């Protein structure tokens, strides 16, 4: 599937940028191949517009913010959060501002990020109740560009067969390549997949897992939120909870902005945030290296046999089927280079 060629994917929320990064002015982002600009509007909430002035097409992200409105750096034309042109500095005060605008997108603040849907959203942003529970802390872990597609990242997140190989340098056990099975329940928003995984527990992992045992288990409850978000609840036998939320935000067909945040029910003195970032960084770096070595155009229709399959691929197969059915239900055929 070529992500940007499937129009209905514009109707979902994607985590686009940290709110913190908008404090010093407007910032550009490319979402599903579309150039957008983000800024903090008058109400302090994020806004997203097409990154193009309706005067001479210049990028609004090259401009600045004046009283919560975005000023084009070329001629000073000014827009509000709805994209409406509100000021043309070249006109005398008594002259009416022409009725022009640049397209605006759905934009909401959640979990420290601005989330954007290019067209009318079909589903809400996934809910994390830990955000409102003082026994949890939220740690922003990653915000980085990967040279892969959103589907590859999502599928990999539910693939228990890659741990022993890709993660042999961190928690994978090469002596146990037989993957644990997921119990999968399909939901309206995607699916819920549970499994208990054996892991090695080297000294570097011990504050993360909350035990000094040389091996331990991860009780994983992993949820796919259609199309490219995921919530992974990991519980260790120590009672520690490690809850990862990530969004594989599609920049274009072969690049994603990977946003990942973490909730933990421990404290900075139990395990410093930086240690938790460093630990998961080593793990996702292993994933990145492998995913960037795959073809980003992942075929959804498995009946065409463009890729081989094995039983442990079931979560990915369900994702492919659900996405394909969804495209068809919205009158779209899969666009891919894979079936020739």
Report which of 14, 2, 4 is spatially closest to residue 259, judged by C-alpha positions.
14
Q: 3 vs 156, which CB is nearer to Fe ion?
A: 156
Closest approach of Cβ 340 to Fe ion, in Å?
30
- As given in the structure block, the two tokens for residue 18 are 């940290």
Segment contacting Fe ion by CB under 5 A, of 143-151, 195-203, 282-290, 325-333? 282-290
Q: In a 3-state reduction of DSSP, which class is residue 223? A: strand
Q: 148 vs 336, which CB is nearer to Fe ion?
A: 148
CA 225 to chain centre: 10
Q: 27 vs 230, which CB is nearer to Fe ion?
A: 230
Segment contacting Fe ion by CB under 5 A, of 17-25, 121-129, 281-289, 302-310? 281-289
Q: 22 vs 259, which CB is nearer to Fe ion?
A: 259
Closest approach of Cβ 172 to Fe ion, in Å?
9
Segment contacting Fe ion by CB under 5 A, of 12-20, 138-146, 284-292, 327-335? 284-292
CA dist., res. 249 & res. 13, Å (int): 9
Closest approach of Cβ 230 to Fe ion, in Å?
12
Question: Which residues are registered as beta bridge partners of 146?
Answer: 256
Is residue 276 within 8 Å of residue 143, measured between CB atoms? no
Closest approach of Cβ 78 to Fe ion, in Å?
46
Q: Under rule CB under 5 A, how many of the chain's residues touch Fe ion?
A: 1
Closest approach of Cβ 162 to Fe ion, in Å?
5
Closest approach of Cβ 46 to Fe ion, in Å?
31
Contacts of 157 (CB under 8 A, 6+ apart): 222, 224, 230, 232, 246
Closest approach of Cβ 334 to Fe ion, in Å?
26
Segment contacting Fe ion by CB under 5 A, of 115-123, 205-213, 264-272, 285-293? 285-293
Closest approach of Cβ 152 to Fe ion, in Å?
11
Segment contacting Fe ion by CB under 5 A, of 40-48, 112-120, 180-188, 287-295? 287-295
Q: 147 vs 265, which CB is nearer to Fe ion?
A: 147
Closest approach of Cβ 219 to Fe ion, in Å?
17
CA dist., res. 77 & res. 65, Å (int): 11
Q: 4 vs 229, which CB is nearer to Fe ion?
A: 229
Q: 287 vs 313, which CB is nearer to Fe ion?
A: 287
Q: What is the largest CA-CA distance in the chain?
A: 78
Q: In the chain, where do the E strands start and end?
A: 14-18, 27-31, 34-40, 46-50, 64-66, 69-71, 78-79, 85-87, 104-110, 113-117, 137-146, 183-186, 190-200, 215-225, 229-235, 241-252, 255-264
- As given in the structure block, the two tokens for residue 160 are 């228990």
Q: 287 vs 334, which CB is nearer to Fe ion?
A: 287
Q: 108 vs 295, which CB is nearer to Fe ion?
A: 295
Q: Point out the residue whose Cβ comes nearest to Fe ion.
A: 287
CA dist., res. 151 & res. 145, Å (int): 15
In the β-sheet with 64-66, what is the strand arrangement from edge to edge? Answer: 64-66, 69-71, 78-79, 85-87
Report which of 288, 273, 271 is spatially closest to residue 205, judged by C-alpha positions.
271
287 near Fe ion, rule: CB under 5 A: yes
Binding site for Fe ion (CB under 5 A): 287
């Amino acid at each position: 599937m070529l992500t940007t060629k499937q129009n209905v994917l514009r109707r979902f929320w994607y985590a686009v940028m940290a709110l913190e990064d908008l404090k010093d002015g407007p910032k550009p982002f490319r979402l599903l191949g579309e150039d957008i600009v983000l800024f903090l509007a008058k109400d302090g909430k994020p806004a997203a517009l097409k990154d193009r002035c309706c005067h001479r097409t210049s990028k609004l992200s090259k401009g600045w913010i004046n009283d919560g409105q975005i000023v084009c750096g070329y001629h000073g034309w000014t827009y509000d959060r709805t994209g409406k042109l509100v000021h043309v500095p070249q006109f005398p005060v008594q002259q009416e501002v022409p009725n022009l605008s640049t397209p605006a997108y759905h934009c909401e603040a959640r979990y420290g990020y601005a989330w954007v849907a290019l067209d009318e959203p079909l589903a809400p942003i996934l809910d994390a109740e830990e955000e409102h529970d003082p026994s949890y802390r939220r740690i922003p872990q990653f915000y980085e560009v990967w040279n892969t597609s959103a589907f590859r990242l999502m599928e990999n997140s539910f693939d228990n067969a890659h741990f022993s190989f890709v993660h042999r340098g961190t928690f994978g056990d090469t002596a146990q390549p037989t993957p644990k099975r997921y119990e999968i329940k399909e939901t309206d928003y995607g699916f819920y997949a549970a499994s208990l995984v054996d892991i090695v527990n080297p000294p570097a992992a011990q504050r993360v897992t909350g035990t000094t045992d040389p091996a331990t288990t991860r009780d994983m409850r992993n949820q796919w939120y259609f199309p490219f978000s995921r919530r992974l609840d990991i519980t260790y036998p120590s009672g520690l909870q490690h809850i990862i939320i990530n969004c594989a935000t599609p920049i274009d067909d072969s690049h994603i902005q990977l946003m990942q945040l973490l909730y933990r029910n421990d404290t900075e003195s139990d395990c410093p945030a930086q240690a938790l970032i460093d630990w998961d960084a080593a793990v996702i770096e292993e994933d990145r290296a492998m995913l960037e070595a795959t073809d980003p155009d992942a075929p959804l229709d498995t009946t065409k046999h463009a890729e081989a399959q094995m039983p442990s691929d079931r979560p990915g197969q369900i994702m492919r089927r659900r996405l394909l059915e969804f495209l068809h239900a919205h009158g779209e055929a899969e666009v891919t280079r894979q079936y020739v």
